[in-house]
Structure 1
Amino acid sequence: MLIDLMRHGETQMPGRLLGRTDPPLSEAGWRQMERQTAGRSWDVVVASPRRRTEAGAARVAAKRGRTLRIDADWAELDFGAWDGRLPADVRADPEAAEAFAAFYGSPDAAAPPGGETWSALVARVARALDRVLAEPAASTALVVTHAGPMRATLALTCAIPFANLWAFSIKPGTRITLRAGRDNTAGLWGEIVEVVQP
């Protein structure tokens, strides 16, 4: 199956850690969605339940006569007490800075205060990916999601180690096309076909 993973466009709160915090798309974000989906079609359109993903995906699905499927497992990582803050502001607090560095350094490090670990994110993205791959008679899918779930999908399908995931720039509006599937012997597999920055 060909899966287009697309990060929602720029929001009205750019540069912040947006997990549960859910600002709407900016005008630039809507233009990014339009450019990245123009001239393309999919059998299945799926989105995270956040309005910054759902709104754009709903427009894409409606234009193509598809029903939008909302899947909570594609939601962004919950950043807990850091949610909605600028990374620089979190790092300005020495105690938080140490926890922040540990969190980004290891998938099994402690979660942000009141938040979610990377491992928990990967586990739910694995479930969501299985549902996409199990879609009957579908050969193409668009998943409008967030940078965290996109990195988790790359780790799961392409066996990219956690530390190497930060080599991918996934700005708002980025689209990554994967060819992915599940083999009875080898399990989940994938290859990156295309990366299109906004």
Structure 2
Amino acid sequence: MTSFVLHLLRHGEPEGAGALIGRTDAASTVAGIAACVTQAQGLKAPVLIASDLSRARLAGEAIGAAAGTALAIDPRWRELDFGTWDGKPPADIDNAALARFWDDPDVHAPPGGECWSALKCRVSAAVGDLAPRATLIVTHAGAMRAALAVLCGFDARQVWAFDLPYAGLLSLRVWPGANPVAQIMGLRP
């Protein structure tokens, strides 16, 4: 089976950085968009996809304009929905509830938010729909972690071991199929 390269690029720094920003459509800073364009230079990915949230979509549009590549929008690459915690800094959330979430984000999803398995399910479906061509996806840290869980078999606790900074690039070699698998090729901040 033919493999392909999948680049996952976290959006640049958004307005309100430091808060739990999931479904909130926070805009990226100009510097955040520029950092994404710089990170994407030279990737040679003919397929360009972005989450529909503006902090990812605007970076995708700028990358597409610089590379002469059409951008497709896929909302399945959105960040985890943090429910009533969305937009709040961690210091404003009950410490015990937040600790339970970090310990087991499937059982202790944010109130009114999305559980980890739902995020994994939608990212898995998005990965399954990818054509086996070099692809760049501008997305969010949660979706990138879900992709690592789906493609590399990491559990929820293991994916938190990866530092995924704003404009960080995770590159994977993917072998598609009914149960796709991947090898990590690189992670650069």
* Class of the TM-score when normalised by the shorter of the 2 chains: over 0.9
Matched, 1:146 2:144: no
Spell out, residue by residue over 1:132-162, the C-alpha distance to the aligned partner (whole angstroms, 9 max, x if none): 2xx2xx5200000000000000111111122
Could you tell me how far apart the structure 1 residues matched to 2:106 and 2:42 are? Answer: 40
| Structure 1 counterpart of 2:117 | 119
Residues paired across the two proteins, number: 186
Q: How does 1:40-119 map to 2 (within 5 A)?
A: 40-90=43-93, 96-119=94-117
Structure 2 unpaired stretches of 5+: none
Q: How does 1:157-176 map to 2 (within 5 A)?
A: 157-176=151-170
AA partner of residue 175 (structure 2): G
Shift of 1:183: 4.1
| Structure 1 counterpart of 2:39 | 36
Matched, 1:196 2:164: no
SS in 1 for 2:160: helix
AA partner of residue 191 (structure 1): Q
Could you tell me how far apart the structure 1 residues matched to 2:34 and 2:170 are? Answer: 17
Shift of 1:20: 1.4
AA partner of residue 161 (structure 1): D
Could you tell me how far apart the structure 1 residues matched to 2:106 and 2:16 are? Answer: 28
| Structure 2 counterpart of 1:93 | none
Could you tell me how far apart the structure 2 residues matched to 1:106 and 1:180 are? Answer: 27
Shift of 1:111: 1.8
AA partner of residue 111 (structure 2): P
Q: What stretches of structure 1 move > 6 A for 4+ residues in a row? A: none
Shift of 1:168: 0.4
Could you tell me how far apart the structure 2 residues matched to 1:59 and 1:11 are? Answer: 15
Shift of 1:69: 0.9
SS in 1 for 2:69: coil
> 34-43 or 119-128, which moves further after superposition?
34-43
Could you tell me how far apart the structure 2 residues matched to 1:60 and 1:27 are? Answer: 13
Shift of 1:98: 2.0
The Cα RMSD (Å) is: 1.4
Matched residues, percent identical?
Answer: 39
Structure 1 unpaired stretches of 5+: 91-95
